[in-house]
Amino acid sequence: MANTAVTENQKLLSEAVIAPRPARKSRDYQQISLYKEVNPLDWEDWRWQMRNRITKLDQISQVVNLTKEEEEGIKNAKGHMAMAVTPYWATLLDPEDPACPIRRQCIPTQNESNISPYEMADPCGEDSDSPAPHLVHRYPDRVLLLATESCAMYCRHCTRRRLVGHAEKVDNSPDRCDAAIDYIRSNKKIRDVLISGGDPLTLEDEVLEDLLKKLRTIPHLEFLRLGTRVPVTLPQRITESLVSMLKKYSPLWMSIHFNHPKEITRRTKIACEMLADSGIPLGSQTVLLKGINDRPSTMRRLMHDLLKIRVRPYYIYQCDLVRGTQHFRTPVEAGINIIEKLRGHTTGYGVPTYVIDAPGGGGKIPINPNYVVSQGKGKYVLRNYEGKVYTYLE
């Protein structure tokens, strides 16, 4: 009995050891010609980072050796979801390897023009569950508020690419969310508001605070949540003043979009520590992406590294059927296999829920390995993580 466990663990361990660590060329920004002259104070200024995002081919080609596919992709992305890469994120790119997981998430390729017949502009049917502008009300007791169309970086797999990354669609007017807030105020069943977008942490402190303040005046709201990728793509945004502002609106939870262990840099760790120290519980959301994080060993390392920076793995999403993302999509089996390799083998806190956000607006549906072997009258036959069979009598 013990022997099977030992061999299984040894197998997993050796897999972890031989799995190639991503070429973690932690480049110093001053080594990149584009940033040679940059003052460290500017580098640490999130507004400087936003203003100096890489959006053009001749800029990104000073950071990496572009492939033909990438060059075409950048040209074709104009008028769709454009490219935008923060200087910080640019330092994480492998200049020579087009398969670099960091690079594939931010540089468009020609693959984005391959649209499969199953793919949709709005794969989760958000637009049809919208009772007020920028609001999605799908579940009985909670809503999703799309606070902005801006992000620090545009992820090539983004499920909301119909909305984000189109400069002409950005509406940051102070009354943008007022109709949504009125709807929330008049619906007493809503106890939880998830503020997402776009990325709400690209808003100025005052704009975000104004929104939090308005929501706080609604007595039936029990807590608020922020959904963001900023601690990963623009950790400089997590400033002392932001954190002390957010602290006033406790209980406030935060879900951070992390996809690869290479994203957990020392700089991101500092940002997450500041957030956690100010009493914000942190969760992660990860999109399962082919060739990026679809190996169980990569996912396990990500989950372990998240726990070390006090982020509790929350969801792994099957990549939605968004137009032009076929090259990122794995079979569902890959996600089930990842959960199979996590559950029982590692810390329970490190096992997120694998979900498919159902096409057409069915919401998040959990997908799990099947642990029930058979079920009869008063009797469950179960298997554990090692495949051993046990019977539970009711």
**Binding partner of 229, given ligand SF4, ligand PLP, none, CB within 5-8 angstroms per partner class:** ligand SF4
Q: Is 141 exposed, middle or buried (0-12, 13-18, 19+ CB in 10 A)?
A: exposed
Build a one-symbol-per-residue string for 252-271: x at contacts with ligand SF4 by CB under 6 A, - elsewhere.
-----x--------------
Residue 317 a catalytic site member: no
**Binding partner of 364, given ligand SF4, ligand PLP, none, CB within 5-8 angstroms per partner class:** ligand PLP
Marked catalytic residue, from 103, 104, 156, 160: 160
| Separation in Å, CA 213 to CA 264, 302, 343 | 31, 34, 40
DSSP annotation string for 224-250: EEEEE-HHHH-GGG--HHHHHHHHTT-
In the complex, the smallest distance separating the C-beta of residue 363 from ligand PLP, rounded to whole angstroms, is 7
Q: Report whether the peptide linkage leading into residue 108 is cis, meaning its omega lies within 30 degrees of zero.
A: no
In the complex, the smallest distance separating the C-beta of residue 314 from ligand PLP, rounded to whole angstroms, is 7
User: Which amino acid appears at position 266 of this protein?
Assistant: R
Among 136, 177, 299, 303, binds ligand PLP (CB under 6 A): 136
In the complex, the smallest distance separating the C-beta of residue 366 from ligand PLP, rounded to whole angstroms, is 10
Please tell me the distance from the alpha carbon of residue 39 to that of residue 28, in angstroms, as a whole number.
13
Candidate segments 10-18, 131-139, 167-175, 296-304, binder of ligand PLP by CB under 6 A: 131-139
Residue 35 a catalytic site member: no
Residue 100 a catalytic site member: no
Site for ligand SF4 contains 306 (CB under 6 A)? no
326 and 117 Cβ atoms separated by less than 8 Å = no
The nearer residue to ligand SF4, 52 or 286, going by C-beta atoms, is: 286
Token match 């969760």: residue?
Answer: 283
Size of the site for ligand SF4 (CB under 6 A): 11
User: Which amino acid appears at position 160 of this protein?
Assistant: R
Site for ligand PLP contains 139 (CB under 6 A)? yes
Site for ligand SF4 contains 151 (CB under 6 A)? yes
Determine the 3-state secondary structure of 383 from DSSP.
Answer: strand
In the complex, the smallest distance separating the C-beta of residue 194 from ligand PLP, rounded to whole angstroms, is 5
Structure tokens belonging to residue 227: 């959904």
Closest CA to 294 of 125, 104, 164: 104
381 and 389 Cβ atoms separated by less than 8 Å = yes
Site for ligand SF4 contains 54 (CB under 6 A)? no
Please tell me the distance from the alpha carbon of residue 177 to that of residue 148, in angstroms, as a whole number.
9
Q: Which residues bind ligand SF4 (CB under 6 A)?
A: 151, 154-155, 158, 160, 164, 197-199, 229, 257
Active site residues: 138-139, 142, 151, 155, 158, 160, 320, 357, 364
Chain residues in the site for ligand PLP (CB under 6 A): 136, 138-139, 142, 144, 194, 364
